[in-house]
Amino acid sequence: MIPTITAGDTLRFVWEWVPSLGVNVSFYIDGLSLTFALLITGIGALVMLYSARYLAGHVHQARFSFYLTSFMLAMIGLVTSDNLLALFVFWELTTITSYLLIGFNHDATKSRRSALQALLMTGVGGLALLAGIILIGTTAGTFEMSEINAMPGVLTGSVMYLPILLLVLAGAFTKSAQFPLHFWLPNAMAAPTPVSAYLHSATMVKAGVYLLARVHPSFAGTDVWLWTLTIAGAVTMVFASVMALRQTDLKLALAYTTLMALGALTLLLGNESGYTITAAATFLVVHSLYKAALFLVVGILDAQTGTRDARQLFGMARAMPITAMAAGIAALSMAGFPPFLGFIGKELKYAGALAVASEPILVAGAVLISSALMVAIAGIVSFRPFWSKSGTPIPDVKEAPWPMLVGPIILALLGAIFGIFPETLQSIVTPTVAAIVGNAEPAKELRLWAGVNLPLFLSIATFVLGFLLYAYKVQLRDWLIGITTRAPSFDNGWDRLMAGVAAGSKALTRGIQTGVLKHYMYVTFATALVALAFTLFTQTSGIPSVSWPQIALWDWLVFLLVLLGTWLTVVTNSRITAIAGLGVVGIGMAMIFILFSAPDVAITQLLVETLVVVLFAAAALKLPELDKDSFGKRPFDALLALGFGVVTTIILMKVTTGPIDRELTTFFETASWPEAFGQNIVNVILVDFRALDTFGEIAVVLIAAISIFALLRAKPEPQAEEDQP
């Protein structure tokens, strides 16, 4: 498969799922999918090996492996799906598995909070994305991304472009933690370190970037796209790299540099030029390699020394030489030193920044600042803990076992190999760029030595600035801590938002759920009345004149009976009498059914009335007496009842005077005997023509019975205790 893709071809596999809705399980492999899939499976395998040892002996190790493999599956599905709805399903699956993995240490409050925060943030983004996807589908007429990308201008030229773009960006920015939706990602570091390395650095958080790259051919090229991505990316990049310097926890520092990388990728994807996209494709690989390696190294430090505080770790290289070496190589790639892949990535970033369509100087400046900070942070994360002599090493520390070392070493070495032999990486970067740009725009060549040019000078400036920042890191950090503790934090804002939502829903619930049955009935009937009356007066006009037909004596008698029952119910002070009165009304109704030759309905009505009276009579013994002389004291009730009666009467009059479509009746009358061998149409409809409906109904009957049974049997706790001898 790999040679096919590197040759510039694409693969597609379609399996129809819900063809009537255009939902297919279709997979599409091009350079972009392949790059991601290789990162996911490659880093995934190393992380699996690592975590087998990292979590060895943990009670829930099996559960952890299950979550991690599920995530890997979902992530591969995400990057290979062609159908946007299938992509959404996988997208949500990664959100859920990420939630489970962040909350893996579920007995810690902080883990649970972080997991929930990540779930809600990415979940809301996911919903926005779904709305965007549906709009895309209705605009373009298909959900297959490969087909949409083959129709240039179908989205950018549409009036729906702006809403679609905003919704898709909401999904991508929450997933890839762009400022100001970034705060969940540093909190997600509550997960075990292999998870942070895998999900929250190398793969899942790049899903948003992947989405931006995937839709790039049909979205890019507009001012909105360019400026939104450039500004969001640049702000995230600079903000995150400054925040990274502030951290004393090495893992958190790495988390913020991940944010910086995501910002850089977003920034680069805002453009269309060959340089910027090549830079994005390369930097994607570079970052995944060195960042996963460094996370795993921090995990090793944490596991072997018991701390990952930058202020306590010094000179550990003597105790753990192999870890130190892997960390060193990865960090050199991160800082962008030649001959590592990071250098190529950085040179391309500068070249790309200078080629952006928006503000080359500003963007290049932002890249310069963040790259210089990367140099400083690379030093803090992997030079100081291993080589610095400004503190005493923690004693009695052993080198990590080999399964934990394999991952960082391979990932770090890959950064070096790809740096020295960039043509090996070129073969996959070229089809990736082609996939992102959407046409045969040639990818720029990856070269270690690109000659003396502006990016080279910017690189040198980066190193100088980076060393200066490293030298003054402690002062800078204290200064930053001073600022950030005074500034309002997003995390506190989140807490306030959550508390507000909880308080709001509590107030709403208290308002709606009064617990008084009468109030529920008011609301139900009033809503129905308003809806019916509104429709009646806006959609139709006038009260139809009914020509009074010959009314037989029987009809009059039934009418009087119903009237009598109603009167009895309204005026009585006794519950039993009221129920009996209602029963009389019900029997009157049954007689009307009989008069109009609907025996089945009449029998059912009679039986139900009988049973209802029995049930009510049983319950009435426990109910309090009705208010004495309540007659005339509940005008609102009377008004509601009268209104409902009037509206129903008008509707019935309209129905009976208007034309009735008898198509269905005729069908059932003619088809009942020949097709279903039954002469009782009502029954044939119930059990044969509409059997599925009936099945649903009896299921509801059963559920209702179970619920009522449970309600009746549920007793207050203290009473249950008394029952026990």
Partner 1 sequence: MNSVILRAGARLLALLLVIFSIYMLLRGHNAPGGGFIGGLIAATGFVVFAIACGTEDARRALRFDPGSIAGAGLGIALLAGIIAAIFGDNFFTGQWLFINETEDDKGIPLSTVLVFDIGVYLVVLGAVLSITFALEESV
Q: Which residues contact 649 (CB under 8 A, 6 or more apart)?
A: none
667 contributes a contact to partner 1 by CB under 8 A? no
Q: Which of 404, 198, 176, 410 is nearest to 297 (CA)?
A: 404
**SS percent in the chain: helix, strand, coil, step 5:** 75, 5, 25
Q: With helix as H, strand as E and coil as C, how does 403-472 read? A: HHHHHHHHHHHHHHHHHHCHHHHHHHHHHHHHHHHCCCCCCCCCCCCCCCCHHHHHHHHHHHHHHHHHHC
Q: Which stretch binds partner 1 (CB under 8 A): 20-28, 425-433, 508-516, 603-611?
A: 603-611
Assess 683 for contact with partner 1 (CB under 8 A): yes
Considering only the stretches 339-347, 409-417, 465-473, 678-686, report the one whose residues sit in contact with partner 1 under the rule CB under 8 A.
678-686
Nearest to 684 by CA among 668, 700, 665: 668
Stretch that binds partner 1, among 151-159, 541-549, 569-577, 700-708 (CB under 8 A): 700-708
**604 near partner 1, rule: CB under 8 A:** yes
Q: Determine if 618 is a binding residue for partner 1 (CB under 8 A).
A: yes
| Binding region for partner 1 (CB under 8 A) out of 64-72, 277-285, 567-575, 692-700 | 692-700
User: In whole angstroms, what is the distance from residue 672 CA to residue 688 CA?
Assistant: 9
CB atoms under 10 Å from CB of 23, counted, come to 17
Euclidean distance between the first and final Cα of the chain, in Å? 74
- Cβ(201)–Cβ(254) below 8 Å: yes
Q: Does 671 engage in binding with partner 1 (CB under 8 A)?
A: no
- How many residues sit in the footprint of partner 1 (CB under 8 A)? 40
Let me know how long the chain is: 725
Measured distance CA(280)–CA(31) in Å, rounded: 13
Q: Which x/- pattern, by CB under 8 A, does the window 188-227 give for partner 1?
A: ----------------------------------------
Phi and psi angles of residue 331, each rounded to the nearest 5 degrees, phi first: -70, -35
Q: Please identify, using beta-carbon distances, which residue of 449 and 695 lies nearer to partner 1.
A: 695
Pattern 335-374, binding to partner 1, x per CB under 8 A? ----------------------------------------
Q: Verify binding: residue 486, partner 1, rule CB under 8 A.
A: no
Residue 684 binds partner 1, judged by CB under 8 A: yes
Question: What six digits make up the tokens of 285?
Answer: 């690989």
> For residues 274 and 5, what is the distance between their CA atoms, to the nearest angstrom?
19
Closest contact distance (angstroms) between CB of 85 and partner 1 is 26
3-state secondary structure labels for all residues of 243-257: HHHHCCEHHHHHHHH
User: Is 576 a binder of partner 1 (CB under 8 A)?
Assistant: no
Applying CB under 8 A, the span of 136-144, 471-479, 657-665, 675-683 interacting with partner 1 comes to 675-683
Q: Output 112 or 690, the one with its CB closest to partner 1.
A: 690
- Does residue 595 bind partner 1 (CB under 8 A)? no
Q: Which of 501, 523, 701, 720 binds partner 1 (CB under 8 A)?
A: 701
- Minimal distance, residue 705 CB to partner 1, in Å: 4
619 binds partner 1 (CB under 8 A): yes
| 394 φψ region: left (φ > 0), alpha (ψ -120 to 50), beta (else) | beta
Among 677, 717, 719, 724, binds partner 1 (CB under 8 A): 677
Helices (H) and strands (E) in the chain, counts: 31, 2
Distances (CA, A) of 196 to 204, 205, 567, 612, 635: 10, 10, 73, 61, 65
Check: CB of residue 178 under 8 Å from CB of residue 115. no
Given candidates 552, 603, 626, 646, which one binds partner 1 under the rule CB under 8 A?
603
Q: How far is the CB of 666 from partner 1 (least distance, A)?
A: 20
Burial pattern 547-570, b for ≥16 Cβ within 10 A else e, equals eeeeeeeeeeebeebbeebbebbe
Nearer to partner 1, 2 or 603 (CB): 603
When binding is defined by CB under 8 A, the residue of 713, 718, 724, 725 that contacts partner 1 is 713
Q: Which of residues 400-439 bind partner 1 (CB under 8 A)?
A: none
- Please select the residue that binds partner 1; options are 21, 471, 698, 720, rule is CB under 8 A: 698
Q: Does 664 bind partner 1 (CB under 8 A)?
A: no
> Residues interacting with partner 1, by CB under 8 A?
599-600, 603-604, 607-608, 610-611, 614-615, 618-619, 621-622, 676-680, 682-684, 686-688, 691-692, 694-695, 698-699, 701-702, 704-706, 708-709, 712-713
